[in-house]
Structure 1
Amino acid sequence: MPQTPELAESAPPAQHHRLESPVHHASTHDDWWRRSVIYQVYPRSFRDTTGNGVGDLPGITLELPKIASLGVDALWLSPFFASPQRDAGYDVSDYCAVDPLFGTLGDFDDLVAEANRLGVKILVDIVPNHCSNEHLLFARALAQGPGSAAREMFIFRDGRGERGDLPPNNWQSHFGGSAWTRVTEADGSPGQYYLHLFDSSQPDFNWDNPAVGDEFEHILRFWLDRGAGGFRVDVAHALVKDAALPDWGGTPDGSPSPGFPFSDAPMFGRPGVHDVFRRWRGICEEYDGERVLCAEANVHPIEAMADWVRSDEMHQSFNFPFLHTGWDAQALKGIITRSLNAFDAVGAPSTWVLSNHDVARHATRFGTVAPATRPGDGLGPEDPQPDLELGLARARAATLFMLGLPGGAYLYQGEELGLGDHTELPHPLRQDPTYARTNGERLGRDGCRVPLPWTPGNPTLGFSDAGEAWIPQPATWQHLTREAQELDPDSTLWMYRNALGLRRARNLGLGDLSWLVDTGTPEVLGFANGGLLVIMNLGNAQFTLPEGTVLQASSATAVDATGRLLNPDSTVWLLPA
């Protein structure tokens, strides 16, 4: 249960609404991507129209008016390309084809047409670090052997040791195990190793080879010509590796660890990657309609992330340090200030995000009051289960706080319904390769990828008329369907829609930011944007609000009956008197 507010007498006296010096000034540019709200669609879990239990492109087109009604500017589609689906489509076998699982190129064209009608852009998730081992280019590399032009499209190396039995270096896969797999050559002999930072079915491209860049220019133009509004770029920091491929003593994902800063990781953040994206920016600028690039650049510190969004590179980059900060007022203030300073220095917007398909949803993270009993990317049935009510209250508060910030914002499908993870998913149903490659040591990301609930009653809650889904939904979602929330003005769905409407009407995405001077308690965080005060209470006691009118609250119980006290785990947007 949420923590019970202390007696009103414990609330600090109302503070004058004094502001610190601005840490960010209002934008002088009105580019749509500087203020955008972009909604991530995970196609296999959005809406199934064919009865095979997997979401598809026609399902997105069918329900697009409902998403557009939230007030979003664009949809980012996770991969829908032809793929063996060993990593949910991030193992691409043909970048210029739609996987029959999701539909056809004609279905994509229909989606773009409907999006244009609704004033929404479609962003394609491009995967340039690696492809599927079933891609024609990799098949040629295997067939033509060492030293061939085909093999130079990927990172092949001879093994170490007397017979080449040892991998070329000690790099580890993100999904567990070695990042190298040895091939059998055409003559049947043990051969070279190829690099795969992820699953062994996902060989890494060799971006030191200009032919790889030419291949991806063709791919980008293919989708831009079909009306794509731009691209979310998967693992943007990993394309270029240190050519010497040295051993690495740090963590496999390049995260900083004692003695091993991210800047030294040989597999990530190499300077040559920026040349790739300068070329891509130039390609996008040849097209009308402000086509954009957003980097999934997991780099440290936040100041280094600004290198990805210089004026001739990406338009946006996900703010992972913000996502991972947690429920901590002073840590949030610190990372927001650093982010704004870093991105302002290169003339780019900060871009905020709380959930996506690779992390536990924030309604689950904020409701997890005890550490997991086993490592992994999500919670399992053996782990202490999250407090659903506490998690939802904090998730709504965090979202409303985020939507008040200047810059862009990303939403993950279903968060507008208050969805958390499926934390009791039976292990035999897991499909994430992380689970298999670590022999269950890590649970993987399936829990945050569960199909959406649309209507109550149906066995799949309206996701599929077939009555089954590729992975089951938790029983607790019965009351969280979109249909049920449409009828409830106190629902999470209504909070999102109202907040996004106010955000657009008051132009908060292009606004400024000044922190409130000492609120009297370190657990309360507030800032002003465009004359609006945004105040979040992360503590256990009620907080006395400044005089003013509450325009938006994170819940019906965010403010007490007097209208003056902000309850714990709550956020308000206040227009000062």
Structure 2
Amino acid sequence: MGQPDRARRDQDWWRTAVVYQVYVRSFADGDGDGTGDLAGVRSRLPYLAELGVDALWFTPWYLSPMKDGGYDVADYRAVDPAFGTLAEAEKLIAEARELGIRTIVDIVPNHVSDQHPWFRAALAGGPERELFHFRPGRGRDGELPPNGWRSQFGGPAWTRTADGAWYLHLFAPEQPDLNWAHPAVRQEHEDVLRFWFERGVAGVRVDSAALLVKDPRLPDFTEGSDPHPYVDRDELHDVYRSWRRVADEYGGVFVGEVWLPDAERFARYLRPDELHTAFNFPFLTCPWDAGRLRARIDDTLAALAPVGAPATWVLCNHDVTRTVTRYGRADTGFDFATKAFGTPTDLALGTRRARAAALLSLALPGSVYVYQGEELGLPEADIPRERIQDPMHARSGGTDPGRDGCRVPLPWTADAPWAGFGSREEPWLPQPADWPAYAADRQARDPGSVLSLYREAIRLRPLFGDGPLTWLPAPDGVLALARPTGALCVANLAAAPADLPEHSRLLLTSGPLDDAGRLPQDTAAWLLT
């Protein structure tokens, strides 16, 4: 009787998993050349096993000119030499699995690199142009873009080629968008999925999952257009149904990067024959406010209930300001449009809140994604302007600090060169002078560190089970939730200390209780009834 239950839990691992995001370039440098690589990841697998995570999500490790951190893919079946080899990726997948850790790879279906063979042939005038969105320009001599669409990175979404045609790129000019109305594009991606599933990956993260399909007329966009000419088109769902059939052949799972404000539209991607999960960005961008966080949690669970999908909780990733820094600012939410240099930050306050947020998110039903360095309490780093590589910075005219501040190479060993990231060359992005204070080896010896908190929380998390949550009565500014197992989480976002609910055991707190045994402001606790 117990064996099928264990088998089912193993099959449904993704519904409750703790997934650790690895940004390979900045995780660990195995050969000392200043760039993180697969050898570095393999050397740190014991650390990840001790952390207790169930799976690793790797941002793209494919062959790439790195104009957008690897999201400009030149070959989906090859590992970039900066990171290693395909054989090494296969070893990494196998070695992680031996430690009970599954692998999720990142597929980028909206666009490819301008160095991809298809696009190079398209530029040469070949029939491959049909695989992209090439159009004549407007104006007397075709000197104006075909429409007024804007790039996600700023500036126009069109670039003119030497022969006068224009091609579409919703991101950087080096990332031409694919034409998903062409059967060859669909077939190629299904083949790529099979390629990686056959190498042992357990899942796929789908980049920019709501942007693939464009209105074939490519009309100008006006605010409020319905349907949108390139966001959340209904035709997308047929793509993901075909992908789901591929995944089901291998027992693989999908997590989609779906930025949509409409919860009902968002949930459509998670119907039983489409994607398995999608990132919960409304929770990630939510300010540190008890009422708004509770509303986001309730809205998420309510939207997903009809389609039977689990929630996916995430506090930060490789694209957004690190949690410690964001929570230490006057505006604790996140919006790409408001990022700016020199925003005042109280890191002690942000760290206290980030610790509490970790316990809150890990107590919720569903899966949780932890971005590398989050478990070390790393803040956003200030990158000297001349060292910023993110195209968002350049295309904003230098006003947007970009995303490099959350991508700085990790500190592993406090007393080693480059804080143990790699010993021969300076890292590809500069580490702040105080990075050794956050080093993993130093935190591992400190029971009060952020790393120790994450290790203990992930170890205890199964006590919460996978059932629903019930909100308990609590003062304004306090979130108190119970799970069917008898585990409770209380997070105090109010100014006054909060009494703990009746309990038999105090499991874990994000910070010390006060002298009266109450929960101070910006502190969370786990309890058993």
Q: Return the TM-score normalized by structure 1.
A: 0.87
Partner of residue 469, structure 1: 427
Deviation at 1:91, TM superposition (A): 0.4
Find the aligned partners of 2:435 and 2:509 in 1 and give their Cα distance: 23
For the residue of structure 2 that corresponds to 1:76, the secondary structure is strand
Structure 1 residue 384 corresponds to structure 2 residue 384: no
Structure 1 residue 217 corresponds to structure 2 residue 190: yes
Find the aligned partners of 1:156 and 1:535 in 2 and give their Cα distance: 55
Structure 1 residue 566 corresponds to structure 2 residue 522: no
Find the aligned partners of 1:453 and 1:41 in 2 and give their Cα distance: 14
Partner of residue 52, structure 1: 33
Of 354, 359, 363 in structure 2, the residue corresponding to residue 395 of structure 1 is 354
Of 132, 137, 160 in structure 1, the residue corresponding to residue 118 of structure 2 is 137
Paired residue type of 2:321: A
Structure 1 residue 126 corresponds to structure 2 residue 90: no
Deviation at 1:467, TM superposition (A): 4.7
Structure 1 residue 535 corresponds to structure 2 residue 508: no
Deviation at 1:371, TM superposition (A): 9.2
Contact 1:303/1:339, CA 8 A, preserved across alignment: no
Structure 1 residue 178 corresponds to structure 2 residue 132: no
Structure 1 residue 311 corresponds to structure 2 residue 272: yes
Deviation at 1:301, TM superposition (A): 1.6
Find the aligned partners of 2:82 and 2:98 in 1 and give their Cα distance: 26
Of 63, 66, 70 in structure 2, the residue corresponding to residue 89 of structure 1 is 70
Structure 1 residue 447 corresponds to structure 2 residue 393: no
Q: Which has the higher helix share?
A: 2
Partner of residue 207, structure 1: 180
Paired residue type of 1:211: A
Deviation at 1:572, TM superposition (A): 0.4
Deviation at 1:379, TM superposition (A): 5.1
Contact 1:199/1:433, CA 8 A, preserved across alignment: yes
Partner of residue 483, structure 1: 441
Deviation at 1:46, TM superposition (A): 0.2
Partner of residue 277, structure 1: 240
Paired residue type of 2:32: G
Of 531, 547, 550 in structure 1, the residue corresponding to residue 506 of structure 2 is 550
Deviation at 1:479, TM superposition (A): 1.4
Moved over 4 A (4+): 374-379
Find the aligned partners of 2:290 and 2:32 in 1 and give their Cα distance: 46
Paired residue type of 2:94: A
Of 288, 296, 299 in structure 1, the residue corresponding to residue 257 of structure 2 is 296
Deviation at 1:378, TM superposition (A): 4.9
Paired residue type of 2:292: A
Contact 1:303/1:338, CA 8 A, preserved across alignment: no
Partner of residue 19, structure 1: none
For the residue of structure 2 that corresponds to 1:69, the secondary structure is helix
Structure 1 pair 358/375, CA: closer, same or farther in 2 (3 Å)?
A: closer
Of 69, 79, 84 in structure 1, the residue corresponding to residue 50 of structure 2 is 69
State percent identity of aligned pairs.
50
Partner of residue 5, structure 2: none
Structure 1 pair 112/378, CA: closer, same or farther in 2 (3 Å)?
A: same
Structure 1 residue 230 corresponds to structure 2 residue 232: no
For the residue of structure 1 that corresponds to 2:57, the secondary structure is strand
Q: How do 1:323-334 residues align onto structure 2 when only pairs under 5 Å count?
A: 323-334=284-295
For the residue of structure 1 that corresponds to 2:370, the secondary structure is strand
Deviation at 1:243, TM superposition (A): 1.5
Contact 1:375/1:443, CA 8 A, preserved across alignment: no
1:266-314 deviation digits (Å, cap 9, x = unpaired): 1110011111111111101111xx3111100111222221111110011
Paired residue type of 1:537: N
Find the aligned partners of 1:123 and 1:49 in 2 and give their Cα distance: 21
Structure 1 pair 247/93, CA: closer, same or farther in 2 (3 Å)?
A: same
Find the aligned partners of 2:411 and 2:493 in 1 and give their Cα distance: 30
Contact 1:370/1:384, CA 8 A, preserved across alignment: no
Find the aligned partners of 1:402 and 1:533 in 2 and give their Cα distance: 12
Deviation at 1:415, TM superposition (A): 0.4
Partner of residue 22, structure 1: none
For the residue of structure 2 that corresponds to 1:465, the secondary structure is coil
Partner of residue 257, structure 1: none
Deviation at 1:425, TM superposition (A): 1.7
Find the aligned partners of 1:173 and 1:525 in 2 and give their Cα distance: 39
Partner of residue 514, structure 1: 470
Find the aligned partners of 1:80 and 1:104 in 2 and give their Cα distance: 10
Of 20, 39, 44 in structure 1, the residue corresponding to residue 20 of structure 2 is 39
Find the aligned partners of 2:228 and 2:162 in 1 and give their Cα distance: 30
Partner of residue 15, structure 1: none
For the residue of structure 2 that corresponds to 1:247, the secondary structure is coil
Partner of residue 335, structure 1: 296
For the residue of structure 1 that corresponds to 2:319, the secondary structure is coil
Runs of 5+ unmatched residues, structure 1: 1-28, 186-190, 251-259
For the residue of structure 2 that corresponds to 1:544, the secondary structure is coil
Find the aligned partners of 1:136 and 1:115 in 2 and give their Cα distance: 32
Structure 1 pair 396/379, CA: closer, same or farther in 2 (3 Å)?
A: farther
Structure 1 residue 169 corresponds to structure 2 residue 147: yes
Structure 1 residue 347 corresponds to structure 2 residue 311: no
Paired residue type of 2:177: D
For the residue of structure 2 that corresponds to 1:139, the secondary structure is helix
Paired residue type of 1:139: R
Partner of residue 454, structure 2: 496
Structure 1 residue 268 corresponds to structure 2 residue 231: yes
Structure 1 pair 118/64, CA: closer, same or farther in 2 (3 Å)?
A: same
Paired residue type of 2:165: Q
For the residue of structure 1 that corresponds to 2:526, the secondary structure is strand
Deviation at 1:459, TM superposition (A): 3.4
Paired residue type of 2:345: P
1:177-226 deviation digits (Å, cap 9, x = unpaired): 000011112xxxxx211100000000000001111001111111111111
For the residue of structure 1 that corresponds to 2:302, the secondary structure is helix
Aligned-residue Cα RMSD (Å) equals: 1.7
Paired residue type of 2:149: W
Partner of residue 575, structure 1: 528
Partner of residue 166, structure 2: 193
Partner of residue 135, structure 2: 157
Contact 2:464/2:487, CA 8 A, preserved across alignment: no
Find the aligned partners of 1:379 and 1:34 in 2 and give their Cα distance: 36
1:82-104 deviation digits (Å, cap 9, x = unpaired): 00011110001111100000000
Contact 1:369/1:387, CA 8 A, preserved across alignment: no
Partner of residue 16, structure 1: none
1:413-443 deviation digits (Å, cap 9, x = unpaired): 0100111110x32100100011111220211
Find the aligned partners of 1:302 and 1:553 in 2 and give their Cα distance: 32
Find the aligned partners of 1:432 and 1:62 in 2 and give their Cα distance: 28
Deviation at 1:476, TM superposition (A): 2.7
Paired residue type of 2:140: E
Partner of residue 479, structure 2: 525
Structure 1 pair 307/363, CA: closer, same or farther in 2 (3 Å)?
A: same
Give the structure, 1 or 2, with the largest relative contact order (CA under 8 Å, sep 6 or more).
1
Find the aligned partners of 1:296 and 1:213 in 2 and give their Cα distance: 19
